[in-house]
Chains A and B, each alone.
Chain A
């Protein structure tokens, strides 16, 4: 399968230099390299600049309401577990209005991949503070500097029981592509936090570029939960890669006995016309 099989041909409206381009290319390449067909994939997007990705990925797509990517993706996966379901959300979508769903999707271990485009600012509404904006940063809603400590999404995902926790960087597309591939292949809830700049309202490109390093370069055992917790708290440098990975039964498996075949795969039996035909004899 070629990368362009997943291109709708629509020209993205993101700002030149936006981190979303890197994520879009990484996801397209990952899907192609995994040999998936467009009709086998569903992408669910929330509200924010990231949400336009459902216009640029040639797969089944659902652009839902603000913050509700995970419940919708869970429903889709349950209705048809054969589909590859990928949720895209921004930091506003995933960590502000829709945060309540993250721990539950993680502990249920629904077999979906959740890619969070974290640019640490509300970009679509032109630059307000979000739960991941660093302390002291001046945004349009914090002209005096952000007074609130940011959330640590990786720690939250780890504490919630996510079975695959990774972080990528939109400026390292090849590495991100591999993470997406691993996330999709992982049987269970795969959480991929992607650091990206918002070149217009909070341009962190240079800082991120300097701070990120690949976990595999320094050696990390992704089955070591304690080490994952420690690495997730590093602030001097930002590791990217798979922090933690473990196999546990998935949510769909728990329903398999009750939903076999799953709702989307049920076919009505052909109607029995014999009695009707009998009446014409």
Chain B
């Protein structure tokens, strides 16, 4: 079935199709339409979930930690300051190995107040143990949200997962979205994983652990995170069989094979990047583009394979990098270094706080990158 949906509604439809048991959230722009739609689904009976209307984001995640501890399938969504206020329990959810799924509509951090997109909020949880996915269209929001449940609840993983997408350009823009006819063919059956707490088997969660015990919990998390790419590829493979849409590598390449320069981006700007690639190709300039879907764990090997032998990589970071390269550019640099590739790396902070980045901007970035040394530059437009 194909529907005309915003990115936020696409998330709500995916959650409806995943049929979680408990949803908890606090309103924040630009996330709010997701939970409103979910409240409608509960009202109409299409979704049989308990909706806990809490007094803050911190409580929203805490409510889900309680629910997931005894095996409930859960969902929450937030943005920006909401994620930062939730921060303490975001890490707790990962440490407790609870497969919570969260939507993150990326939005700039204050001050000054700004409700438009910026990926600063997204990057703050990159080392928390959450599986982190980035969608660049409403269709991807829908698909990746379903995949997030498959990865999070897989018994080899049991870690929370989040799906992020840009404020307004994706969250509030209507696009055709094809739904999965029968999501149970994709998702694991409910209750397929063993929760840490169960009524018939008393146990405790979160007690004091001595250094060796604590270290062991983190070693096990490291191992679980290492298994994510394989589990992600399996789930994406099932989705491909159902729909033909393929996310299994965790990133998409566009005209990269014979390219000398590759643009790397996440989110809605990728559409403009693809147009810029076509425009430059039409003039005979060999460029390509790479879009990251699976941001954590980062696909170092895959990205390095794509970039190996290229002359230049241009990373478009939708955030301000202060004191170091931006996280996405740092990850690309790591991928290159691990493989011993010598590729010029140029990062542009572009689209910060909701500024539009167009095809012409991307073409101009290419020219600017040729003239400049490797490093990070703040893009102020043409």
Contact = CB atoms under 8 A, between A and B. Distances in A.
Contact of B55 (A99, A124, A142, A143): A99
A144 B41 CA distance: 11
Size class of the contact patch on chain A? 20 to 34
B56 A128 contact: no
B350 interface: no
Contacts of B214: none
Contact of A65 (B42, B55, B81): B81
B267 interface: no
Contacts, number: 50
Interface stretch (B24-32, B195-203, B215-223, B334-342): B24-32
Contact of B36 (A47, A124, A128, A131): A128
A142 B32 contact: no
A128 B28 CA distance: 10
Interface string B29-63: 10010011001101100000001010110000000
B113 interface: yes
Counting chain B CB atoms within 10 Å of each CB, which of A67, A96, A125, A142 scores highest? Answer: A125
Interface in B87-122: 110-111, 113
B56 A140 contact: no
B40 A142 contact: no
The CB with the most chain A CB atoms within 10 A, among B28, B29, B39, is that of: B39
Interface string A52-87: 000000000001011100000000000000000000
Nearest to B43: A143
Interface in A95-148: 95-97, 99, 122, 124-126, 128-129, 131, 140-144, 148
Interface string B277-291: 000000000000000
A142 B39 contact: yes
Main SS of chain A's interface residues?
loop
A97 B26 contact: yes
A128 B27 contact: yes
Contacts of A63: 111, 113
A142 to B, nearest CB: 7
Contacts of A142: 39, 53
A140 B39 contact: yes
Contacts of A95: 55
Given A128-B32, A128-B53, A143-B39, 7 more contacts: A95-B55, A96-B55, A97-B55, A125-B28, A128-B27, A142-B53, A144-B43
